[in-house]
């Protein structure tokens, strides 16, 4: 059986790529959302500069529809990546033979809805 120090080192080795990957995924999500907002602003500006009312209405609706789809896609991608990151971590953590008991609770071993 591994010592506590060995198990802690094992968890740390599993945790570091988890945190790095979560941050990278968040950065990608953030960049996608920024691009979606920028595109929406550009599209709405172009739409409101149209003089034909029918064309303006269609363009405004399209700008919002495109934005909603971009936002939905970005969020879905982030959620899928986050779930896979946690699955990978959980597999690595299990290999460390660590339970939450005796290691300060389960706080860092399970994802929350906000990670």
pLDDT digit string, tens, across residues 3-51:
778 888 888 898 999 999 999 999 999 999 999 999 999 999 999 999 9
Residue range(s) defining the domain that contains residue 55: 4-95
Geometric angle at alpha carbon 8, from 16 and 12, rounded to 5° = 5
Question: pTM above 0.85?
Answer: no
CA 84 to chain centre: 11
100 falls within a domain? no
103 falls within a domain? no
The CB density around residue 93, as the number of other CB atoms within 10 Å, is: 22
31 falls within a domain? yes
107 falls within a domain? no
Report the phi/psi class of residue 98: left, alpha or beta, with left for phi > 0 and alpha for psi in -120 to 50. Answer: beta
And the tokens for 100? Answer: 């939450």
101 falls within a domain? no
Q: What is the pLDDT of residues 75-92, one digit of tens each?
A: 999 999 999 999 999 898
Q: Looking at the 3D structure of the chain, how many domains does it have?
A: 1
Residue listed under structure tokens 């005796």: 102
Report the phi/psi class of residue 87: left, alpha or beta, with left for phi > 0 and alpha for psi in -120 to 50. Answer: alpha
13 falls within a domain? yes
55 falls within a domain? yes
Residue listed under structure tokens 């009312």: 53
- Name 27's Cβ contacts closer than 8 Å, sequence gap at least 6: none
């Amino acid at each position: 059986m591994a010592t506590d120090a060995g198990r802690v080192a094992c968890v740390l080795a599993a945790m570091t790529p988890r945190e790095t990957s979560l941050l990278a995924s968040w950065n990608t999500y953030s960049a996608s959302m920024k691009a979606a907002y920028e595109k929406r602003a550009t599209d709405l500006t172009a739409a409101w500069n149209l003089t034909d009312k029918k064309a303006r209405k269609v363009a405004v609706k399209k700008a919002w529809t495109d934005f909603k789809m971009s936002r939905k896609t970005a969020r879905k991608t982030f959620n899928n990546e986050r779930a896979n990151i946690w699955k990978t971590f959980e597999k690595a953590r299990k290999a460390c033979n660590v339970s939450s008991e005796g290691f300060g609770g389960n706080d860092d071993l399970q994802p929350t809805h906000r990670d």
